[in-house]
C-alpha cells in the first residue's frame, strides 16, 4: 500500500548531512512506490508556541499566522512522519523546535482534527561518535510519538559526521535509503 511521507528537515546547512539523509530516504520511499514531501523547517517562518491556549479557535490548529499553518494540511493528511535532523547540544535544533512545540495544538483532548501520522522515523546525525550522545534526542522523539500516538518505525543514528557532506563517505546514505524502501 502506498503511503504518504512528510519529511521534515531541521538543518540550516543546505546540502548538509541530514539533508542528504532525508534525500536518500525519499529516494528509497519513492522507489518503493510511496509519496514523499520534504519541508525544510530551517527556511520556513515557524515561531514557537506562545502558550495563548487559543488553539483551534479560528479553525486552524494554531492561531499564529506563519508557515506552521501551511503545514497543518500535510500533518493532517500524511501517514508517515520523517524527522531528519542534526543534533545541536544533544537535542533538536531550534529551527525545528518551534514546529515541535506547536504540536501542542494536536496533543490535547480538545484537538478538533487529528494528526494523520501513524508511524515515524528519526534520521539523526552529529559529530560525536559515542552513541550515548544521541540518547537525549531519541528519548524526546520517542516520547513525542508516545504522546501523539504514532509508532516509531526506524531510527538511524549517523554519528561521527562533522563537515557538511561527510555522510557521503559513509554507509549511512544506503541505510537511510533502505529505511525509505521499507516504509
Ligand X SMILES: Cc1cc2nc3c(=O)[nH]c(=O)nc-3n(C[C@H](O)[C@H](O)[C@H](O)COP(=O)(O)O)c2cc1C
Positions in the binding site for ligand X (CB under 6 A): 11, 13, 16-19, 86-90, 125-128, 133, 161-162, 164
Minimum distance from residue 20 beta carbon to ligand X (Å): 8
Minimum distance from residue 138 beta carbon to ligand X (Å): 13
- Most distant CA pair in the chain: distance in Å? 49
Minimum distance from residue 149 beta carbon to ligand X (Å): 28
CB-wise, 33 or 165, nearer to ligand X? Answer: 165
Minimum distance from residue 165 beta carbon to ligand X (Å): 8
Minimum distance from residue 74 beta carbon to ligand X (Å): 22
How far apart (Å, rounded) are the C-alpha atoms in residues 69 and 73?
Answer: 8
CB-wise, 110 or 162, nearer to ligand X? Answer: 162
CB-wise, 60 or 88, nearer to ligand X? Answer: 88
Q: Which residue is nearest to ligand X (CB)?
A: 16
- Burial of 10 (C-beta count, 10 Å sphere; 0-12/13-18/19+): buried
CB-wise, 150 or 172, nearer to ligand X? Answer: 172
Residue 65, φ and ψ in degrees, nearest 5: -100, 80
- Burial of 33 (C-beta count, 10 Å sphere; 0-12/13-18/19+): exposed
CA dist 155 → 73, 87, 101, 131, 151 (Å): 25, 14, 21, 12, 11
CB-wise, 86 or 180, nearer to ligand X? Answer: 86
Amino acid at each position: 500500500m502506498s503511503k504518504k511521507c512528510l519529511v521534515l528537515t531541521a538543518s540550516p546547512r543546505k546540502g548538509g548531512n541530514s539533508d542528504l539523509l532525508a534525500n536518500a530516504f525519499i529516494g528509497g520511499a519513492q522507489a518503493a512506490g510511496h509519496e514523499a514531501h520534504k519541508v525544510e523547517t530551517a527556511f520556513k517562518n515557524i515561531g514557537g508556541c506562545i502558550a495563548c491556549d487559543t488553539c483551534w479557535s479560528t479553525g486552524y490548529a494554531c492561531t499564529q499566522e506563519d508557515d506552521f499553518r501551511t503545514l497543518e494540511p500535510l500533518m493532517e493528511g500524511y501517514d508517515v512522519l520523517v524527522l531528519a535532523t542534526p543534533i545541536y547540544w544533544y537535542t533538536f535544533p531550534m529551527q525545528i523546535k518551534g514546529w515541535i512545540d506547536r504540536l501542542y495544538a494536536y496533543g490535547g483532548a480538545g484537538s478538533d482534527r487529528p494528526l494523520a501520522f501513524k508511524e515515524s522515523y528519526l534520521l539523526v546525525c552529529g559529530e560525536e561518535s559515542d552513541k550515548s550522545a544521541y540518547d537525549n534526542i531519541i528519548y524526546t522523539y520517542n516520547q513525542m510519538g508516545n504522546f501523539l500516538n504514532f509508532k516509531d518505525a526506524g531510527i538511524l543514528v549517523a554519528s561521527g559526521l562533522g563537515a557538511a557532506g561527510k555522510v557521503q563517505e559513509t554507509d549511512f546514505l544506503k541505510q537511510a535509503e533502505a529505511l525509505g524502501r521499507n516504509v
